[in-house]
Amino acid sequence: MLDGPFQTTNGPTAAETPLDKIDVSDPALFRDNRLWEYFERLRKEDPVHFCETSRYGSYWAVTKYKDIMAVDTNHQVFSSEAELGGITIRNQQTDFILPMFIAMDPPKHDEQRKTVSPIVSPDNLAKLEGTIRNRVCTILDGLPRDEEFNWVERVSIELTTQMLATLFDFPWEERHLLTHWSDVTTQENEVVTEEGMEYRRGELRACGEYFVNLWNERVNEEPRDDLISMLCHGEATKDMDFMEYLGNVLLLIVGGNDTTRNSLTGGLLALSENPDQYDKLMADPSLIATMVPEIIRWQTPLAHMRRTALEDVELGGKQIKKGDKVIMWYVSGNRDTDVIEDADKFIIDRARPRQHLSFGFGIHRCVGNRLGEMQLRIVWEEVLKRFPKIEVVGKPTRVFSSFVKGYEEMFVRIPS
């Protein structure tokens, strides 16, 4: 058992599936939490694995830590360009390309990234810390005692939405729109009907129009510390067209939303499945510092990133051809025992807790990594000040996606 007591047993096991038929991109494996044994088999028997048929077409599954690093740090050969398919296993829709710097190669990527990076400078983070803490305290103080409630909705979603509204200086009462647009964006992987796609395009256009209004207000004001002001005054971003602005706004919304949200839920689940670690934490809250990166490794909120090969290249003894889709399975690299000791165990006081792939590597390494860590640290500091052990009640419901690895619902109870 690799991931606690909630693993389901439906479907053929990894050992029963012929190696060449293993398709780790099946979202049902993630929803049912049955992915682990498939990845374990690939890491052992076929670490750079060609999957010929899947709902997303053929792809290479890269499953070992070092091979993933080799791909992620070689943007000259492995491209993120939207027009080649972008950064998720499902190709971007060619009639609705959303240009965003996560799906660009240099030099444009580097210029745009530089423009938004100041939002997460150490100075700005220090300024944000007080605001985040106040919001965390208000949310936690409003939680019921001795009563079951959905942690995802009441804590994880609420907190990350408030956080995003702060970063954009977004109209406070309408902040739920940010969560909605984030959900609509990430649904791309699973929306397949023409009707569904049309709905998605319409919602995202409405998002773009809303943000254009905010741009028009701020472009005439002095530059400020919020993301929209930074984009409309930034040299590399001030002339973006509508789709490019929308693409980058959505990148910042999605980047800061699902990832932190699912780490907030996944951390509590991991502690509840490993009561010895929860005891250790209660006895010594200073362990939050090493626990936070361990939660991010353990959860791996983005299970993969995708690249497209720009030329023929060898990887792990396999011949990858120009144009092939290459999937870096961070979720698997993070359980690679050749690099991470006892990688299948959740250990909150690891010696090198930041040795993980959850933020990626290379030129696209997560811009918001310190911000995400800071949010988790504050939540756990405030939780430990207030509550005894929080109990997870029953099975969480997991997201049907092999990109966003997360939770729809997780019911908990806080004893008085």
**Site residues (CB under 6 A) for ligand HEM?**
72, 101-102, 113, 251-252, 255-256, 259-260, 263, 296, 301-302, 305, 358-362, 364-368, 371-372
In terms of CB distance, is 79 or 260 closer to ligand HEM? Answer: 260
Q: Cβ of residue 372: shortest distance to ligand HEM, in angstroms?
A: 3
How far, in Å, CA of 81 to CA of 102, rounded?
Answer: 8
In terms of CB distance, is 140 or 159 closer to ligand HEM? Answer: 159
Tokens of 185: 């964006």
Tokens of 83: 């027009």
How far, in Å, CA of 124 to CA of 371, rounded?
Answer: 10
How far, in Å, CA of 338 to CA of 132, rounded?
Answer: 38
Angle at 86 between CA 374 and CA 166, to 5 degrees: 30
Q: Cβ of residue 352: shortest distance to ligand HEM, in angstroms?
A: 17
How far, in Å, CA of 82 to CA of 85, rounded?
Answer: 5
How far, in Å, CA of 129 to CA of 59, rounded?
Answer: 42
In terms of CB distance, is 27 or 255 closer to ligand HEM? Answer: 255
In terms of CB distance, is 181 or 414 closer to ligand HEM? Answer: 181
In terms of CB distance, is 22 or 115 closer to ligand HEM? Answer: 115
How far, in Å, CA of 152 to CA of 192, rounded?
Answer: 26
Q: Cβ of residue 413: shortest distance to ligand HEM, in angstroms?
A: 26
Tokens of 222: 């002095």
Residue in 363, 376, 183 with CA at minimum distance from that of residue 298: 376
Tokens of 230: 């930074």
Question: Is 408 in a helix, a strand, or coil?
Answer: strand
Q: Cβ of residue 406: shortest distance to ligand HEM, in angstroms?
A: 11
In terms of CB distance, is 14 or 269 closer to ligand HEM? Answer: 269
Q: Cβ of residue 10: shortest distance to ligand HEM, in angstroms?
A: 28
Q: Cβ of residue 100: shortest distance to ligand HEM, in angstroms?
A: 8
Q: Cβ of residue 103: shortest distance to ligand HEM, in angstroms?
A: 8
Strand 318-320 to strand 304-309: parallel, antiparallel, or no bridges (unpaired)? unpaired
Name residue 300's amino acid: T
Q: Cβ of residue 295: shortest distance to ligand HEM, in angstroms?
A: 8
In terms of CB distance, is 22 or 179 closer to ligand HEM? Answer: 179
Question: Is 238 in a helix, a strand, or coil?
Answer: coil
In terms of CB distance, is 274 or 358 closer to ligand HEM? Answer: 358
Residues sharing a CB contact under 8 Å with residue 209, sequence separation 6 or more, in sequence order: none
Strand 59-62 to strand 48-51: parallel, antiparallel, or no bridges (unpaired)? antiparallel
